[in-house]
């Protein structure tokens, strides 16, 4: 809780409602984790969504902390086996498809970089939005290098790579149930892949909003928040990879 | 959402931004935290009714195993365990985690901190409907082949991991796990929303240390939920994998269940217990903290006196929250866990008594030299204190491993957690209901009925759960469907009979509450804006509050929440929004 | 209402406390360690009892004494008192942690030390829904068990799947009743073949889960002869409520006699 104390200072919230008239309101629930539809003020919403993400990362961390501790406990565990009348530890070290995983890692890290470009690009668009929105000034939103697309592509590349990795594991005889070590391999990589998939979907959604006439501010928030989430996913993967490599 | 409003709606919209129109948008998939709060409340109410009926069936079966129970028929032992499991699960998750936090928290946290809504309305809606789905799945477990699981709400493997281990351990168990997983996700979404709202949406002048203690309790509870549910989710996933994907996290090798060899090896049942209780203990504080917040708020309001030691209260809740994560092992003293770690867990657990003691003393200190008004909400707040003490004091017995040896998994434990959770926390809900009902529905609940309901429930609860301590000392184990087999239990059956009678009366008395609730919605006498002469923000706005809570104005807060009986002030209370000066303290 | 509350709270407090002491709830204790556990219980009971009564009586008094009398006088305006806060924080801390400190050695004696030399070995096995007790016989060694040989319906050795091929199992004796010599330390080995059970002997103030995947060593010493009931204290399925057994404590000679007979009717 101590970490929260910095926020003790009172904020002067910029008028949200009431003044609601002058700022356009975006109808529709606003998917992708549902942002404060009630409060059109854009800077306000950006800050809030970032905070929300920061908070939202905590349970994900806890999930993987729990998995990791289970991993380490199960690895060191000797349990009484009634067939052999002895304590056995059946943990068999994994033979990881390391090369492939390294390649996937590169994909993910690269995507993290392009993600950052996409984020900057989106915020730039958001800033100049009022100008481009003026009649007569060309709206070149969709032009510029498609960083978003590249990121999504790389992300999907990573996921495909992971699927390959699973195939390879099965090839070398490590199935979900063959050994606790392989169970954990599928569990950790699978859980991470699912979370990343969420990011991919969010980005795709952000991409689509270009064609839906959603103002760039709205999209910027999705992209920005997803970007931080994406970086976190990259870190998380590095951690998982390290865990699997070091504590086998 | 914005377009197509009746003239009235349009007028309203002009003031408070866009009020949704259309039944679906307004009442079903509403983004309004108030509507969502009420949805949560009624989900919990449904759940508690189911839970109560189950408990009655259990009580009847325990003392008359052969009798045919209305709606249930003659119960088989396994059916009893099924009811018990669902009773515990429903009560803990869908009542005590749902009503006080998600229900009242949703409705009143934003209003009390002067926000127009939760930080993420859509997420809010999502978390409610996920909870709803989770409840539906849980109930569905009753109706699948083999019925609901019988492995208790703690769901220990290997009983819960091996389908042959008992009826209900098939599809029913899977549904139970899926339901719990959904519930975890929903709770984490909810917690995220609560925390962001508290940190980011406070009105001008509403510093953290000026928040009502209710908001503090919801905030801290949210943090506990945020960190605890992820771990339960992890455990649930692992158990689902053991059951359906042939992994061996929890099941060791060479087991034979009802003559069938089990195809697992190397796992450990204790691993589940650690994961479960790492969640489970914070969970029990998730259940009680909002109740503490409500009690503090009400005791101060109806004693017309500032809360005794506001900061101490806040720090006490914080330390309860932090310590709550370090004590899970006290559920595992007899589990075969290292006896040395029992030392650490025992020490931490005893330490938790200290902040709890601080709160108790401060509640008494708040009423001391007060001017107590015995309204129904106040009565339940007082009842909360009494029950919290009674239930809490059995904690330090169980917390000492040496004493826990004879008491573990006996009715002494059942007595402990029913008094403190089964009734104290529930009293928190009752108090909150009687207190906030006028604001939510614009009408008062009937006073006389409220008082009758309190007296019967208060006495009844003690009659049900106090004798369970004696049963526990006499060595009566938990989770026994009847007491006819074990000889030394036979003499205890009269006590069980007494408990059953008490339960019948107490449960019946709840009809008074339900009647009062629904009757008052339609027929209760109109409530003015601030019927209790309370100081917090929800009483500064219309009744019931408009769509954006404050009808277009942003409230500004000038001082703390409990300025009662300020010397020289015009009235005996000063609203938080009232610029009037208060003595420094 | 204030008066009513006072009476209700005080009455509940009185009756609850009265019934705690009115009847000897605890089963008659017969183990060597029971007196220590009971003593710690009583210590805690007195401390918590005092607090319980004090807190409830105070609550009753306060709500009555400071009820709204409808006069114009206002409640006193006070935001608390840090000195008081500190006092009771320290007091409760001392009380709780003191109790904890006093109780710890008992637990240590129970669980840290191994059974002393020459303790009698008994293996306790829980399975749905019965307790089986195995004596190692003259060689002091338990024979191996093989799951595929388990057949609960046959009872005895075959219920545990004891492997006849293993020489160590030749003189093993399996019984449904836990027969023990009085005043002799017993070295228990707890195991389970299907799900978690809990070996609970109220008269011995003894309880320990029997967990699949663990061989748990415990020790106790019965000090009075007689029959005492064993219950299962961990939910283990539909028969949990009837999974009980008898612990029969007999004199040393009677025990030897009994064991010899069992050895005999094995051949
Ligand atoms: C609302 C829920 C709630 C709360 C708040 C608590 C609070 C506490 N609980 Fe409880 N507990 C449960 C719900 C709760 N518990 C449940 C559901 C179970 C059973 C789970 C299962 O197995 O199914 C359980 C089981 C349980 C066990 C395991 C028992 C066993 O299985 O063998 C233990 C052991 O240490 C324990 C201890 C405590 C302690 C020390 C507190 C402390 O926080 C209590 C602190 C409060 C007080 C001490 C009283 C008030 C203070 C004063 C009056 C001041 C003066 C006091 C003194 C100076 C002494 N609890
Ligand atoms: C909140 C938690 C809660 C509540 C309220 C209750 C209420 C009751 N419980 Fe339960 N119980 C548990 C939680 C709870 N229980 C748990 C966790 C277990 C363990 C399960 C296991 O071992 O796995 C258990 C087990 C349990 C047992 C032990 C079973 C066994 O070990 O064999 C028994 C036996 O008598 C019992 C009885 C009762 C009775 C008679 C009631 C009540 O009927 C008493 C009367 C009811 C009330 C006074 C509450 C009324 C509330 C309202 C009317 C609405 C409030 C408003 C809203 C929610 C919106 N319960
Ligand atoms: Cu065996 Cu309960
Ligand atoms: Cu606990």
Q: Is the pLDDT of residue A32 over 60?
A: no
Three-class secondary structure of residue A248 per DSSP: coil
**What's the rounded Cα separation, in Å, for the pair B121 and B110?**
11
Question: Is the pLDDT at C138 greater than 90, yes or no?
Answer: no
Q: Is B379 in the pocket of ligand 2 (CB under 6 A)?
A: no
* pLDDT value of residue A146: 83
Instruction: Specify whether the CB–CB gap between B258 and B394 falls below 8 A.
Output: no
CB contact under 8 A, A80 and C215: yes
* Structure letter (DSSP) for residue A193: H
Which residue of C144, C147, C213 is in closest CB contact with A80? C213
By percentage, how much of chain C surpasses pLDDT 70? 100
- Among protein residues, the one whose CA lies closest to atom 2 of ligand 2: B422
C248 lines ligand 3 (CB under 6 A): no
Question: What's the rounded Cα separation, in Å, for the pair C207 and C200?
Answer: 4
- pLDDT tens digits for range B518-543: 999 999 999 989 999 999 999 999 88
Cβ(B424)–Cβ(B388) below 8 Å:
yes
The helix or strand, by DSSP H or E, that contains position A46, with its residue range, turns out to be helix A42-76
* Rounded mean pLDDT, B104-131: 94
Asked if B464 and B495 touch (Cβ cutoff 8 Å), the reply is no
The region of weakest confidence among A1-10, B225-234, B459-468 is: A1-10
Question: Do residue B191 and residue A47 have CB atoms under 8 angstroms apart?
Answer: no
Q: What pLDDT sits at residue A221?
A: 86
**C147 to A82: CB separation less than 8 angstroms, yes or no:** yes
- Decide if pLDDT at B349 tops 50: yes
Q: What DSSP string runs through B265-306? A: -S--HHHHHHHHHHHHHHHHHHHHHHHHHHHHHHHHHHTTS-
- Contact (CB<8Å) C215/A83: no
Confidence of residue C72 (pLDDT cuts 50, 70, 90): confident
Write down the residue that tokens 């030749």 correspond to. Answer: C170
- Say if residue C112's pLDDT is above 70: yes
Residue B4 banded pLDDT, cuts 50, 70, 90: very low
* A156 or B71, higher pLDDT: A156
Judge whether residue B11 has pLDDT over 50. Answer: no
d(CA C223, CA C205): 13
Atom of ligand 1 nearest to the CA of B88: 23
Does the CB atom of residue C162 touch ligand 3 within 6 A? no
Residue A89 forms contact with B (CB below 8 Å): yes
The pLDDT of residue A33 is 34
Q: Is B156 on the interface with C (CB under 8 A)?
A: yes
Who among A33, A55, A81 is closest to B253 (CB)? Answer: A81
% of residues, chain B, pLDDT over 90: 81
A180 pLDDT above the threshold of 70? yes
Q: What is each CA distance from B231 to A68, A234, B281, B282, B432, in whole angstroms?
A: 11, 22, 12, 11, 30
* Digit-coded pLDDT (tens) for C196-218: 999 999 999 999 999 999 999 99
Q: Name the H helices within C121-242.
A: 156-160
Helix (H) or strand (E) holding B514: helix B493-523
Is there a contact between B390 and B466 (Cβ–Cβ < 8 Å)?
yes
3-state secondary structure of B500: helix
* Residue B287, pLDDT above cutoff 50: yes
**Number of neighbours of residue A135 by Cβ within 10 angstroms:** 4
Which of these ranges, A20-29, A60-69, A170-179, B54-63, has the smallest mean pLDDT? A20-29
**Rounded to 5 degrees, what angle do the CA atoms B441, B517, B573 make?**
55
Output the CA–CA distances (angstroms, integers) from residue A198 to A151, A157, A233, B95, in the order listed. Answer: 14, 15, 10, 31
Q: Residue C192: which of C220, C214, C162 has the closest Cα?
A: C214
pLDDT attached to residue C76: 84
Q: Say whether pLDDT at C170 is over 90.
A: no
- What digits encode the pLDDT tens for the residues B192-248? 999 999 999 999 899 999 999 999 999 999 999 999 999 999 999 999 999 999 999
Q: Distance from the CA of B328 to the center of ligand 2, in angstroms?
A: 22
B102/A206: higher pLDDT: B102
Q: Going by C-beta distance under 8 Å and a sequence separation of 6 or more, which residues neighbour residue B46?
A: B135
Q: Distance between the two ends of chain A, CA-based, in angstroms? A: 34
Choose the mutation target among B403, B416, B480, B494 for the interface with C, i.e. most C CBs under 10 Å: B403
The band of A213, judged by pLDDT with boundaries at 50, 70 and 90, is low
Q: Please count the helices (runs of H) and the strands (runs of E) in chain A.
A: 5, 2
pLDDT of residue B131: 97
Ligand 2 close to Cβ of residue B413 (< 6 A): no
Q: Read off the pLDDT band of B515 (50, 70, 90).
A: very high
Distance from CA of A78 to the nearest CA of C (A): 8
For chain C, the average pLDDT equals 91
pTM, rounded to two decimals:
0.92
What is the B328 CA–ligand 4 centroid distance (Å)? 6
Q: Do B339 and C76 touch (CB under 8 A)?
A: no
* Pair type for strands A79-81 and A86-88: antiparallel
Per-residue HEC secondary structure of C2-33 comes to HHHHHHHHHHHHHHHHHHHHHCCCCCCCCECC
Cα(C217)–Cα(B64) distance, integer angstroms: 39
Residue B3 has pLDDT above 60, yes or no: no
Residues B150 and C238 sit within 8 Å (Cβ to Cβ): yes
- Considering every ligand atom, which ligand is closest to the CA of B417? 1
Ligand nearest to the CA of B421: 1
Q: How far is the centre of ligand 3, averaged over its atoms, from the C-alpha of B158 (Å)? A: 12
Can you read off the two tokens belonging to residue B259?
A: 């003559």
Q: Which chains touch C (3 or more CB pairs under 8 A)?
A: A, B
Using the predicted structure, report yes or no on whether residue B446 has a pLDDT greater than 80.
Answer: yes
What whole-number percentage of chain B has pLDDT above 70? 96
Residue A137 Cα to ligand 2 midpoint, Å, equals 67
Q: How far apart are CA B271 and CA B32, in angstroms?
A: 41
Q: Which residues surround ligand 4, an ion (CB under 5 A)?
A: B 281
Q: What is the pLDDT of residue B579?
A: 86
CA of B325 to the centre of ligand 4 (A): 10
CA distance A81 to chain C (A): 6
**What tokens were used for B473?**
């000392």
Matching residue, tokens 């450990």: B268
Give the pLDDT of residue C85. 86
Number of cross-chain residue pairs from B and C with Cβ atoms under 8 Å apart: 333
Please report residues of A whose CB lies closer than 8 A to that of B249. Answer: 70, 74, 180, 183
Give the CA distances from residue B363 to residues B384, B566, C9, C16, C162, in Å, rounded to whole numbers and listed in that order: 10, 19, 16, 23, 62
Coil, helix or strand for C131?
strand
Contact list in B for residue C239 (CB cut-off 8 A) is 77
Phi-psi region of A112 (alpha: psi -120 to 50; beta: other; left: phi over 0): alpha
Q: Which residue of A has its CA nearest to B16?
A: A18
pLDDT above 90 for C247 = yes
Q: Considering only CA atoms, which of B479, B524, B473, B513 is closest in space to residue B495?
A: B473
Q: How confident is the model at residue A131 (pLDDT cuts 50, 70, 90)?
A: low
Q: State the residue for tokens 């009565």.
A: B379
Q: Which residues pair with B204 in a beta bridge?
A: B556
Neighbours of C256 (CB within 10 A): 12
Give residues with Cβ within 8 angstroms of B506, minimum separation 6: B456, B457, B460, B461, B463, B464
Give the whole-angstrom CA distance, residue A147 versus residue A139: 18
Question: Rounded to an integer, what distance in angstroms lies between the CA atom of residue B504 and that of residue B501?
Answer: 5
Please state the rounded mean pLDDT for residues C7-13. Answer: 95
Using CA coordinates, name the residue in chain B closest to A52. Answer: B196
Look at the block and give the residue holding tokens 């109930």: B139
The per-residue pLDDT of chain B, averaged, comes to: 91
Rounded to whole angstroms, the Cα distance separating B271 from B269 reads 5
User: What confidence score (pLDDT) does residue C111 get?
Assistant: 86
């Amino acid at each position: 809780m101590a970490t929260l104390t910095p926020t003790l200072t009172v904020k002067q919230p910029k008028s949200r409602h009431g003044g609601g008239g002058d700022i356009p309101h975006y109808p529709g629930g606003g998917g992708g984790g549902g942002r404060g539809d009630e409060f059109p003020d854009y800077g306000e919403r950006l800050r809030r969504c970032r905070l929300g993400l920061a908070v939202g990362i905590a349970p994900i961390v806890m999930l993987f902390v729990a998995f990791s501790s289970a991993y380490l406990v199960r690895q060191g565990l000797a349990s009484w086996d009634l067939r052999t009348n002895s304590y056995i530890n059946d943990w068999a070290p994994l033979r990881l498809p390391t090369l492939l995983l390294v390649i996937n890692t590169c994909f993910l890290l690269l995507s993290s970089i392009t993600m950052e470009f996409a984020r900057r690009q989106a915020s730039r668009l958001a800033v100049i939005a009022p100008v481009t929105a003026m009649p007569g000034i060309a709206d070149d939103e969709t032009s510029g290098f498609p960083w978003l697309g590249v990121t999504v592509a790389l992300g999907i590349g990573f996921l495909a790579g992971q699927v390959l990795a699973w195939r390879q594991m099965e090839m070398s005889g490590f199935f979900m149930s063959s050994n606790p070590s392989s169970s954990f391999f599928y569990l950790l990589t699978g859980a991470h892949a699912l979370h990343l998939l969420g990011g991919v979907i969010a980005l795709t959604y952000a991409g689509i909003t270009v064609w839906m006439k959603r103002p760039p501010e709205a999209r910027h928030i999705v992209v920005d928040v997803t970007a931080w989430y994406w970086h976190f996913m990259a870190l998380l993967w590095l951690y998982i990879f390290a865990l699997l490599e070091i504590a086998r | 959402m914005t377009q197509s409003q009746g003239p009235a709606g349009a007028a309203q919209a002009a003031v408070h931004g866009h009020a949704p129109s259309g039944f679906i948008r307004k009442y079903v998939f509403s983004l309004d935290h108030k509507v969502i709060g009420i949805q949560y409340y009624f989900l919990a109410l449904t759940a508690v009714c189911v839970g109560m009926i189950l408990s009655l069936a259990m009580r009847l079966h325990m003392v008359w195993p052969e009798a045919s129970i209305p709606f249930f028929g003659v119960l088989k032992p396994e059916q009893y365990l099924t009811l018990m499991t669902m009773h515990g699960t429903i009560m803990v998750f869908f009542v005590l985690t749902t009503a006080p936090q998600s229900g009242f928290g949703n409705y009143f946290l934003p209003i009390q901190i002067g926000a127009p809504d939760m930080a993420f309305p859509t997420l809010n809606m999502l978390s409610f409907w996920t909870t709803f789905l989770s409840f539906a799945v849980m109930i569905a477990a009753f109706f699948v082949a083999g019925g609901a699981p019988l492995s208790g709400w703690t769901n220990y493997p290997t009983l819960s991991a091996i389908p042959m281990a008992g009826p209900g351990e098939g599809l029913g168990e899977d549904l139970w796990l899926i339901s719990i997983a959904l519930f975890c996700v929903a709770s984490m979404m909810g917690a995220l929303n609560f925390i962001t709202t508290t940190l980011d949406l406070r009105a001008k002048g509403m510093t953290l240390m000026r928040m009502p203690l209710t908001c503090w309790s919801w905030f801290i509870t949210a943090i506990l939920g945020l960190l605890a549910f992820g771990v339960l989710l992890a455990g649930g996933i692992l158990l689902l994998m053991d059951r359906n994907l042939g992994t061996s996290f929890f099941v060791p090798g060479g087991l034979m269940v009802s003559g069938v060899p089990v195809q697992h090896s190397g796992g450990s049942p204790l691993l589940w217990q650690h994961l479960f209780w790492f969640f489970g203990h914070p969970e029990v504080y998730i259940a009680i903290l909002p109740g503490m917040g409500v009690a503090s708020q009400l005791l101060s309001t109806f004693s017309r006196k500032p809360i005794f030691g506001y900061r101490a209260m806040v720090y006490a809740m914080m330390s309860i929250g932090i310590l709550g994560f370090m004590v899970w092992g006290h559920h595992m003293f007899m589990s075969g866990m290292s006896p040395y770690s029992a030392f650490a867990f025992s020490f931490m657990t005893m330490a938790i008594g200290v902040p709890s003691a601080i709160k108790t003393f401060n509640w008494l200190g708040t009423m001391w030299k007060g001017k107590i008004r015995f309204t129904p909400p106040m009565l339940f707040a007082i009842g909360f204190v009494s029950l919290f003490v009674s239930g809490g004091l059995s904690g330090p017995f169980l917390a000492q491993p040496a004493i826990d040896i004879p008491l573990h998994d006996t009715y002494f434990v059942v007595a402990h957690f029913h008094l403190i959770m089964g009734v104290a926390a529930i009293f928190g809900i009752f108090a909150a209901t009687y207190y906030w009902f006028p604001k939510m529905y614009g009408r008062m609940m009937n006073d006389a009925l409220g008082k009758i309901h309190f007296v019967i429930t208060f006495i009844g609860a003690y009659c049900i759960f106090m004798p369970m301590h004696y049963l526990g000392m006499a060595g009566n184990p938990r989770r026994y469907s009847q007491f006819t087999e074990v000889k030394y239990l036979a003499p205890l059956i009269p006590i069980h009979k007494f408990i059953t009678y008490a339960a019948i009366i107490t449960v019946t008395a709840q009809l008074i509450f339900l009647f009062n609730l629904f009757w008052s919605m339609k027929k209760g006498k109109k409530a003015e804006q601030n019927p209790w002469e309370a100081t917090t923000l929800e009483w500064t706005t219309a009744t019931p509050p408009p769509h954006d809570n404050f009808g277009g104005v942003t409230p500004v807060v000038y001082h703390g929440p409990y300025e009662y009986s300020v010397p020289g002030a015009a009235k005996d209370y000063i609203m938080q929004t009232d610029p009037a000066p208060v003595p420094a303290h | 209402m204030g008066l009513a509350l006072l009476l209700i709270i005080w009455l509940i407090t009185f009756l609850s406390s009265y019934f705690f002491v009115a009847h000897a709830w605890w089963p008659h204790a017969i183990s060597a360690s029971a007196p220590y556990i009971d003593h710690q219980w009583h210590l805690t009971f007195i401390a918590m009892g005092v607090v319980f009564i004090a807190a409830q009586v105070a609550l009753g008094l306060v709500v009555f004494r400071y009820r709204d009398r409808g006069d114009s006088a206002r409640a006193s305006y006070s935001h608390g008192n840090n000195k008081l806060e500190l006092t009771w924080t320290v007091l409760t801390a001392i009380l709780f942690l003191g109790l904890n400190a006093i109780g710890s050695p008992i637990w240590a004696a129970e669980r840290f030390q191994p059974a002393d030399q020459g303790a009698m070995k008994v293996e306790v096995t829980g399975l749905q829904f019965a307790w089986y007790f195995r004596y190692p016989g003259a060689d002091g060694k338990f024979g191996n068990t093989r799951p595929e040989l388990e057949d609960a319906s046959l009872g005895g050795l075959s219920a545990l799947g004891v492997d006849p091929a293993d020489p160590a199992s030749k003189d093993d004796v399996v019984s449904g009743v836990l027969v023990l010599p009085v005043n002799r330390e017993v070295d228990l080995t707890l195991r389970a073949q299907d799900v978690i059970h809990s070996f609970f002997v109220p008269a011995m103030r003894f309880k320990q889960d029997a967990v699949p995947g663990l061989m748990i060593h415990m020790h106790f010493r019965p000090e009075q002869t007689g029959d005492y009931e064993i219950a299962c204290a961990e939910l283990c399925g539909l028969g949990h409520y009837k999974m009980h057994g008898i612990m029969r404590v007999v004199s040393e000679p009677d025990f030897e006699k009994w064991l010899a007979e069992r050895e005999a009717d094995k051949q």
